[in-house]
Each structure stands twice: as structure tokens, then as C-alpha cells.
């Protein structure tokens, strides 16, 4: 079996670069690093089959004292299509600072969930919200998950 075509989970489709930002562009070094890491995490989640089409979200709080800005995926891209440049920069009060490289907006439900967590817990840098059958199974057990998980709240 030729693993070169399947190793990335994309079959025979061409690879889309993850770190697609040029040096010296409009983003700080720290933001480029954060964008690259977050885009890579999206690809890993896809590789492990933890994504559910376009209905999951991962966000990253951008560094900076007093900053209330996060990066999140544009609504409509599959996780395997996310790149550093496609991520949307948004304030926790809902203002889009940078729409990224696509004309797509954000998932409002994802934005509400992620900003609530980022605002309530400033020490949390990254929020990962996935829908997996394994997570649903554990959440339905009596011992379950911590109440911070959406599946355990119902």
C-alpha cells in the first residue's frame, strides 16, 4: 500500500500549505507563530478524524497584556483546508479585526462558546471543541467528564 497518498488524510488531492504567510508581512512574529501552530493543530485534528465537517472549532488567544483577541477558523473551510493566513482574528466582544484570506465569516455558536471560555479563564490559551463518538460515550457515563464539557451540561 502506498502510504504517501494517504499519510496526510487527503487521498490524492494536492496538499495545501499550512504555514503560508511570508516573513515581514502584516503580522507580528508572535502572531505568525500562533497562526502556524493553530493551523497545524487543525490539520492534526483532521488527521486523527476528530473533526466533524465544519462544525468544530479551535481558538487561540493571542499574546499581549490586556489583549482580548483570538484566532478562530472561518466558517465553511474543512480542517484540512485551514492555513495560517485563513484564520480569522476577532476580539472577544465580536469585532473582526482581520478576516483572513477568505471571504468567509465565523461560526457564531463557536465564537460565543470560545470567547466565553477565554474571558472566564484568562490562563487558557487554546480551546478545542470537537464532536467525537468517544467523547460522547464518556460524557454519557455516570463518571463522565468535568462539567466544563458541553456534552456533560445536558
Give the chain's mean pLDDT: 83
Domain count, the chain: 1
Lowest mean pLDDT of 30-39, 53-62, 72-81, 94-103, name the range: 53-62
The whole-number pLDDT of residue 146 equals 63
Q: What is the mean pLDDT of residues 27-32?
A: 92
> What distance in Å separates the CA atoms of residue 6 and residue 9, rounded to the nearest whole number?
5
The whole-number pLDDT of residue 6 equals 46
Domain of residue 74, residue span? 3-153
In eight-state DSSP terms, residue 6 is T
Q: How many CB atoms lie within 10 A of CB 9?
A: 15
Q: Could you report the per-residue pLDDT of 67-123, keeping only the tens digit for each? A: 799 999 999 999 999 999 999 999 999 899 999 999 999 988 889 999 999 999 888
> What distance in Å separates the CA atoms of residue 130 and residue 29, rounded to the nearest whole number?
29
53 neighbors 27 (Cβ within 8 angstroms)? no
The CATH number linked to 119 is: 3.40.225.10
Residue 11 has pLDDT above 70, yes or no: no
The whole-number pLDDT of residue 66 equals 72
The band of 24, judged by pLDDT with boundaries at 50, 70 and 90, is confident
The whole-number pLDDT of residue 53 equals 75
The whole-number pLDDT of residue 55 equals 79
The whole-number pLDDT of residue 87 equals 97
Amino acid at each position: 500500500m502506498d502510504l504517501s497518498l494517504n499519510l496526510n488524510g487527503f487521498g490524492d488531492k494536492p496538499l495545501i500549505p499550512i504555514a503560508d504567510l511570508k516573513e515581514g508581512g502584516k503580522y507580528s512574529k508572535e502572531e505568525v507563530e500562533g497562526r502556524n501552530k493553530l493551523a497545524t493543530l487543525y490539520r492534526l485534528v483532521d488527521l486523527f478524524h476528530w473533526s466533524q465537517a465544519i462544525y468544530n472549532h479551535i481558538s487561540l488567544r493571542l499574546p499581549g497584556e490586556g489583549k482580548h483577541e483570538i484566532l478562530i477558523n472561518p466558517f465553511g473551510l474543512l480542517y484540512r483546508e485551514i492555513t495560517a493566513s485563513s484564520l480569522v482574528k476577532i476580539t472577544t466582544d465580536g469585532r473582526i479585526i482581520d478576516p483572513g484570506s477568505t471571504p468567509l465569516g465565523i461560526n457564531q455558536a463557536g465564537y460565543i462558546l470560545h470567547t466565553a471560555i477565554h474571558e472566564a479563564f484568562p490562563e487558557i490559551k487554546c480551546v478545542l471543541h470537537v464532536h467525537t463518538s468517544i467523547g460522547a460515550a464518556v460524557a454519557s457515563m455516570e463518571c463522565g467528564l468535568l462539567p466544563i464539557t458541553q456534552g456533560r451540561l445536558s
